[in-house]
């Protein structure tokens, strides 16, 4: 039983619009209830004109209509005294407040997942674009709650926890561009480190005792020895890696005095798209300069940019370009499923999530040209601040303990799947271009 739910944004709630009103519809069908007993009803024709003017309306429109309602002439021909007018106005104001509350999408509709279910795991998932998320491929008997949080103050996050019965949290939410982190480090420390602390505090308050944390190989920095194991010293060299390591340290310190089940997954370089076409890579335009090589290759192939910029050709590698361990996003999803299944109270699991094989940037560009069928123009530039020469994983621990290994290891095939998504979604997750 695999389901998913997007909890409304903590600052903006969308509600479906009501049915349009047509001439001849009874007023009672569209008014929730009279404003107050004994308050004269507006003339039918005037109210109908208001509804006909607005046609299909949501609860904010209805509130506006109520304001108009209060300002209309009454049918009662008897002139009221000043005191009586004030009483009527006060009654209208009170009922307006009640009506606003009742018309609110959250009134009288508690979350359908506000209680724990026997045999079902309720998982809070933070981060990403809701239009890009598909959880149908996740573990059976798991309910995924997607949350796009724009206000990471504790009160807002705590409200989400208080309204829903979570059994576990998958904390993905983070900015993740090495180049950008060197230009705007405070953004990264706040978004990654501080927000992780907020999530932990809410988990502790509401006794949610399983955490799957999205970390990165950038916490290792540039080790002297390859491949990287989980025991490799962590010496990050850019604010992105440093912020992630700080978040890991906070989690581990908190765990020392709790029975929380913790799984920390250190990703290597994620590429690819969902083979069924449900999601793909679509960075915001302003981040293209700092984006990942796969997105840069596709932008060049589509003519969005004038060629591909390869930064750094003087590294101590076979062809002078950086070496990375590219992990397909589908394998990454599977790693999270297995981590959730194997998480144990009071235990910490730390795992590298990679293929165990390093590929140079030149190899990647060649595979991208083959996958897209485009002879991409390549410009070679100086190194990018914060980059390191070589990094690839030793994934033997995750194979041994979680029975996970990368299955989508054909670089060209992964890029071909991602390219197919790019061609079908020229505007990313936005409206299709005509």
Task: Please state, in angstroms and rounded to a whole number, the distance separating the CA atoms of residues 366 and 376.
Answer: 9
Catalytic residue (one of 240, 315, 326, 351): 240
Instruction: Give the number of other CB atoms < 10 A from CB of residue 360.
Output: 18
Residue ranges of E strands in 297-389: 308-311, 323-324, 326-328, 348-353, 359-360, 378-381
Residues 87 and 138: beta-carbon distance below 8 Å: no
Does residue 240 carry a catalytic annotation? yes
Q: Which residues partner with 262 through β-bridges?
A: 211, 348
Phi and psi at 422, nearest 5°, equal -60, -45
Task: Please state, in angstroms and rounded to a whole number, the distance separating the CA atoms of residues 290 and 286.
Answer: 8
Q: What secondary structure, in 3-state letters, does 82-131 show?
A: HHHHHHHHHHHHHHHHHHHHHHCCCCCCCCCCCCCCCCCEEEEEECCCHH
- Which residue from 173, 174, 163, 155 is spatially nearest to 122, judged by alpha carbons? 163
- SS3 state at 213: strand
Q: Helices (H), strands (E): how many in the chain?
A: 13, 13
Residues 354 and 395: beta-carbon distance below 8 Å: yes
Positions marked catalytic? 240
């Amino acid at each position: 039983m695999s389901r998913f739910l997007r909890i409304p944004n903590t600052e903006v709630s969308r509600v479906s619009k009501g049915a349009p009103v047509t001439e001849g519809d009874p007023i009672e069908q569209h008014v929730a209830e009279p404003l107050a007993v004994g308050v004269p009803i507006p003339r039918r024709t005037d109210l109908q004109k208001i509804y006909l003017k607005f046609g299909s309306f949501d609860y904010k429109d209805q509130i506006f209509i109520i304001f108009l309602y209060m300002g209309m002439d009454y049918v009662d021909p008897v002139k009221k005294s000043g005191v009586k007018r004030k009483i009527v106005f006060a009654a209208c104001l009170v009922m307006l407040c009640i009506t606003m509350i009742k018309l609110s999408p959250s009134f009288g509709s508690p979350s359908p997942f506000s209680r724990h279910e026997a045999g079902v795991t309720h998982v809070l998932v933070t981060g990403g674009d809701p239009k890009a998320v598909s959880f149908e491929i996740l573990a059976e008997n798991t309910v995924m709650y997607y949350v796009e949080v724009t206000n990471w103050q504790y009160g807002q996050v705590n409200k989400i926890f208080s309204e829903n019965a979570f059994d576990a949290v998958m904390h993905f939410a983070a900015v993740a561009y090495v180049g950008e982190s060197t230009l705007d480090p405070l953004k990264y420390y706040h978004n990654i480190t501080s927000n992780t602390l907020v999530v932990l505090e809410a988990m502790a308050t509401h006794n949610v005792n399983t955490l799957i944390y999205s970390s990165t190989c950038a916490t290792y920095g540039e080790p002297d020895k390859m491949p990287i194991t989980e025991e490799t010293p962590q010496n990050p060299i850019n604010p992105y890696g440093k912020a992630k390591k700080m978040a890991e340290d906070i989690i581990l310190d908190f765990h020392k005095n709790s029975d929380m089940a913790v799984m920390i997954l250190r990703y290597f370089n994620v590429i690819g798209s969902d083979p069924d076409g449900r999601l793909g890579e679509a960075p915001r335009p302003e981040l293209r300069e700092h984006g990942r090589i796969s997105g840069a290759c596709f932008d060049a192939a589509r003519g969005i940019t004038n060629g591909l910029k390869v930064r750094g050709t003087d590294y101590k590698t076979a062809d002078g370009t950086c070496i990375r361990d590219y992990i397909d996003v589908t394998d990454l999803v599977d790693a999270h499923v297995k981590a959730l299944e194997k998480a144990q109270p009071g235990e910490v699991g730390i795992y590298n999530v990679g293929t165990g094989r390093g590929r140079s940037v030149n190899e990647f560009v060649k595979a991208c040209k083959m996958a897209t069928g485009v002879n991409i123009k390549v410009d070679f530039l100086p190194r990018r601040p914060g980059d390191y020469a070589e990094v690839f994983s030793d994934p033997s621990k995750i194979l041994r303990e979680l029975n996970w290994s990368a299955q989508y290891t054909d670089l060209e095939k992964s890029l071909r799947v991602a390219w197919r998504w790019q061609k079908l979604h020229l505007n990313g997750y936005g409206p299709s271009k005509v």
